[in-house]
Amino acid sequence: MRWKRFVASVLYALNGIRIAICHERNMRIHLAATMAVIAAAVMFRISKMEWLVLLVTIGAVISLEIVNSAIERTVDLVTDKYRPLAKEAKDLAAGAVLVFALLSMIIGISIFSPYLYVFFKNSLHFHK
């Protein structure tokens, strides 16, 4: 019986991820960025520690986007009228995603810039 409840809860969570992907434009943007970052990580053969940092960063951004979407839907469920506190709740949740998305860009730049430097340095020497 416990096993069935666990499986059901996993299926509900997977449905939540599906909803976010299908209905949230920003989630699709985050996923496109994720695919580009993973492709670059594979291409440059980044270290195990760099992979771990990237995976935690990707997971955090995607998780925050899902939480932001849940907060937006909850606020919309509670009121369909303009209310300053409802707007603030939505803006705060979106702000949390933005802060971590910007931080993840800084993390990505710090991880990939040495690889890009070597790549472009070698490309320039190759053409001389």
3-state SS string over 15-41?
HHHHHHHHHCHHHHHHHHHHHHHHHHH
**Interatomic CA distance for residues 14 and 6, integer angstroms:** 12
91 is in an annotated binding site: yes
* DSSP assignment letter at 127: T
88 catalytic per annotation: no
Could you say which of 54, 58, 61, 65 is catalytic?
A: 65
115 is in an annotated binding site: no
Q: Annotated catalytic sites, by residue?
A: 65
Binding-site positions for substrate = 5, 65
Binding-site positions for ATP = 5, 12, 24, 72, 90-91
Binding-site positions for a divalent metal cation = 24, 72
